[in-house]
Structure 1
Amino acid sequence: MANVMDVQTEDNLQYHFYPVSSGSIQFKVRAANDAHLALTLGPQETDPMYEVFIGGWGNTKSVIRRNRTKPDKVEADTPGILNGGEFRGFWVRWDGGVVSAGREGEVIPFISWTDPEPFHVAFVGVCTGWGASGTWKIEDGAEFDTPDKLEYKFGPVAAGSLQFEYRGPHNAHLCFTSAPAEVNPMYEVILGGWENTQSVIRHCRTKPDKVTLPTPGLMNPNEFRKFLIEWRCGRLLVRDGVTGAVLMEWVDPAPFPITHFGVRTGYGARGHWRITHFSPAAGQHLAPSAPAPAALYASPPGYPGGYGGAPMGGGQWIDASSGQVPPGAAPAGQDCSGEPLFVARAQHEGATIPGKLVQSHGCAYVPWGGLEHGKPQYQVLVGGSNNWVPTSGSAIPPGAFPGGQSEDGETLFVGRVRHEGSITTGKVQQSHGVCYISFGGQELGFPDYEILVA
């Protein structure tokens, strides 16, 4: 999308579509009511599609709708949110299945909904209707200011990283919590503190700081500085957003699930922020960390037939939901926290995908399209063999357990890998020569893995 676009929309409920290159847009609109946005795969009204209605029903409420069907997925009372005589600024974001909208300068959305089966958004459409014409100014990215006040502005996260740019003289403060408030447990990252001389990582607002690093001149009031913060299994990394170099690192021996971030400035500083919401490649399908799809492998000696049909004694798939573990299900791995993981599978984008069940999260996770997708409805593997055979590439041993199929009809097998202290189950896709797992919000691919054999 161009940096700035001026768009006129008539009172005809006909979307004007434009390509998007990131997972969010920022815009201003002048309309008396009914500013509508559509998020789609292509430049037309086709399913799947998200619609965000701002100031509908006589400028009294806003809703999120999927595939033009009712009931609406979520609605919020927003009286007077639009104005026909002045521009009002907003942002809309979509990542990891979370669709949200908020006012310019505010991090917390006024409306948000999580789609259990998200899709890749490539175009945005805008229109007005129901008695309103509109004027739009549309930009990429979201920016906002924080005053010289030690009070966090909170927003949700859906992946294990946050990329941002900050322009200010010093004291960029970030916190990471399990709620949109300053509650323990909490991580805090202070960049350019102590008059722009040092940076720290702090836990639960207590001293001594877990990490202290001299960073003289880290911040600049006249230019943006870019950073990336990542968290995974209690490991907190602060990176230079340009070079990727690690500035600070700390491992929490008792990690907690992070669901929100907060930003603030203080001690004489005002800050200007640009936040790439949810992940470094927001809104795009991340390329899995695996080789490009390879030609089908010719089975080597010891694997005379490759996969030759349904295995014997392979167990059963039992329906479950919301973290339930059916009786008889045996752990097949463990999270980096030590929690047992179970073999699960779920439907996604026309595929049946093997993955992992994390009971404490209340859902199963499956890898697809470069991302990790949480599924509250899933099936768990019960009974059968617990025989895991080491292999690599596209070498599928005889009797390998077929756990599902891709959207193209290719058989997917059940595999697992060891990664960052975990043993994580996922899908083996023979035509790609890797085992894919979902981990830290991403789909990761490994050419060496173990495969379940009946």
Structure 2
Amino acid sequence: MGDLVEITTWPKHLNAFYKITSNALAFEVKAAGNAALGLSRKPANNCDFWIVLGEGQRCFIKKMSSRHCESASTPGILSADEYHKFWLTWCNGCVRLGRDGYSDPIVSCINDVHDMKYVTFSVVEQRNPVHWRFEIPPSIEKTKFKPITGSELHWVTYEPGRDLPEELLVGGFEKENLYIARAKHRGSLTPGKYVRSLGKAYIPWGGQSTEKPEFELLCGFDGFWVPTCDDKIPVGAFIAGYSEDNLERLYIGRALYEGHLIPGKVAPSHKVCYIPYEGREISVKKFEILVSPKENDRCVNKIFVSDRVSYVQPDIEEYDVPDSDYSNETDEENVAF
């Protein structure tokens, strides 16, 4: 059900437009003279169509961009004492006016105007008012979206026997969903995969897929995957750890291998993504890297060697990586893991 509206139109009144989204209108009229409805794509006095009831005991539909109109003889169609019910449709290439309870229209007119969704009610050359009743779709306020909080990517320590975090990030698929883990190993902090059915994490290191009993899981959903290859690290790539030699920053990558999508690690100096698979460390040349809008874009492609920093400029034209703000300055925030 829509909202029931009752209005009275007077001579020389300002037209009020009502939005109708169903391409159809059921209405009632009580008038001593003539009554008119306008159809329009937008609220404006120059409507695309005018539908007039009772004009000289006739009804007609006129397209305003054409001199021609369609009309029919309708004596006694309106009454000054009681409401008479009608319907109006504008769909399937035709505007139709009909009486309530009858499927055949009183009069119809070809319509090639699209997206008419406004109706107005008026008076035609007379001094008497016209009374209307009609239904319009209920007014629905547009939903106001609130920003989601707590979505930032963050690490949670895995605790055996306890429920996993609800915001656990899915990182791939290998017979089941894979999640992203990281663990310390021989001086490194290395990202890899977590297999929920086994309750175990595996990291790629030294040519092997190494099982780790203690690890962290990546949670949140404020991230997206960017395809790349070699040492082309996108701006905003999420830093997941560091290597055992020279403390090179490690990123989270994932790659297709034998029909599986497996998360692993990306060390820019190696120019591949390493994934743990069936006990081995597999290197893949084409892969994706996890990017977070929150990540400091000044940290992209920095390789840390002792106390100095070297910068690797991405091939922007080939890989369409956004410009970064490169600087020769270093500070504790950029160096510390």
TM-based fold match above 0.5: no
Scaled by the length of structure 2, what TM-score is found? 0.40
